[in-house]
Amino acid sequence: MSDPSSATVPVPELIRRGYDRAKGLGHEGLGAVREELLAQLGELLGSGELPEPLDLPEGARLIVAPELLAAAYRPDGDPGGRRALVTALRSGNLVLTHPLLKRTIEAFQALDLEVRTVTLWIAAMTVLPEWTVPAEELPEALAALEGGERDLAGALCGAASVGPVFVVLGQRGWSRDARRIDGVHVITPEPQASEDAMTAAPTYLVTGATGGLGTEVVRLLLEGGARVIAVGSRAESVHGLRQILHNPARLETRVGDLMSEPGVQALFESLGDIELDGVAHLVGGYMGGVSVAETSLDSFRRMYALNVDACFLVLRATCRRWIAAERRGAMVVVGSTSGRSGKQGHLAYASSKAAVANLVQSAAEDLAPKRIRVNAILPGTIATGANLEAMPEADHDKWVSPLQVGRAIQYLLSPASEGVTGALMEVAGWGYVAD
């Protein structure tokens, strides 16, 4: 007699059966359950060969979007979802809050999976202590599920306070709030890329890739299917970026000193014959709250070295490369709204950003005949972790998010903005209105 479809069994009953199955299972028993599920997935794929798991930091926990988990069981299922599923089963670190558990079961039911498969999944899931429901409280917990889902952002905050690393895998729809929670890293699992796919994908160089904005830009470009070469100033920060984003197939990293001519030259030589489609230059520095009388020459020069010199050196190296190869390309740099009209206490910073804006527009005029585009994003205060920590009393509602700035950069790099050059695009949030 075949196992009945889970679609015919109410969700609370499936959860109860899964809990019953998990009772008395020790470490070896749970391992056997996970191996059975992996074998089942291998049979579904036909060849029995499973995709490689994601390369997560030790101790990481996963939340996987229910729709992504269930899609792994479809014959034409999402390859990235399968990688997430294999990772969860191999490491035994899948975390489902009770609202997400309910959604996952419903997604499995929609695919008409058998009762045994669904209850095996329930048994295989590890649940953080604060969400573990004692047997005597199970009826009340199941009844509470019918009353609506618990706020996901609140659940994630609790999870991030418990685990050393908490990784969210999933779709943008419900992971948007998670991006703003310290300790929660949002990644989108990618299928293992073929050589053909790598060749066809656009290739972007991103400098300053390990900062709050840089990480978001790299993530957006990877999600869009691009190959990304991410540049940071320190080896440890570049390594951390790879851990957060987990896209080794299409993510390359470099370490370089972009404030020196030899450093920039070495970076571009390291690219070999890689053909770049675009460059996002995100290196920069900030200094504020200092009057003209109190500004030292050293600090003034440092602002220009970070904001102007580095921009010029990367821009020059980029256009030389494209001109020599007779290629078109798009470059985007980050300026600031402060560079438009100056700002009290920001002489060095604001004037250096004004220089960046002029540099961009002059270069755009110069390179237009070569069909090389140069544009700048002028953000207001960006709500990065460092800025939030440095200015806890500020009105953060007026700030612009890294995601919003990142999308603007992604647009200016893409063919969708063809014909746009010399633009100074303001992405200022709600704290600044242009004259």
The residue with tokens 């080896």 is: 235
d(CA 225, CA 220): 9
Q: What is the pLDDT of residue 58?
A: 63
Which of the 8 DSSP states describes residue 290?
A: B
* Separation between Cα atoms, residue 363 and residue 207, nearest integer Å: 19
Backbone angles phi, psi at 260, to 5 degrees: -125, 145
- List, run by run, the mean pLDDT of 10-residue segments along the chain (435 residues): 75 79 72 84 73 69 68 70 77 62 78 84 61 46 45 46 43 44 52 51 93 90 90 88 73 92 94 94 85 89 92 97 94 89 82 94 96 93 77 79 90 93 88 51
What pLDDT shows up at residue 372? Answer: 96
Q: Residue 229: which of 312, 357, 318 has the closest Cα?
A: 318
Quote the CA–CA distance of 59 and 173 in Å, as a whole number.
Answer: 26
Q: Which residues pair with 167 in a beta bridge?
A: 62, 185
| CA–CA–CA angle 151, 156, 162 (5° rounding) | 135
* Cα separation, 14 vs 133, whole angstroms: 15
**pLDDT recorded at residue 2:** 59
pLDDT for residue 221: 92
| CA–CA separation, 323 and 325 (whole Å) | 5
Q: Which CATH class is domain 195-427?
A: alpha beta
Give the pTM: 0.61
Distance CA 72, CA 23 (A): 27
The DSSP symbol for 232 reads: E
Task: Tell me which residue of 410, 415, 417 sits closest to 219, measured CA to CA.
Answer: 410
pLDDT of residue 43: 80
pLDDT of residue 301: 92
Query: Residue ranges of the domains in the chain?
Result: 6-186, 195-427
CB-based burial label for 199 (10 Å; 0-12, 13-18, 19+): exposed
Residues whose CB is less than 8 angstroms from the CB of residue 162 and which lie 6 or more positions away in sequence, other chains included? 128, 129, 130
Map residue 303 onto helix, strand or coil: helix
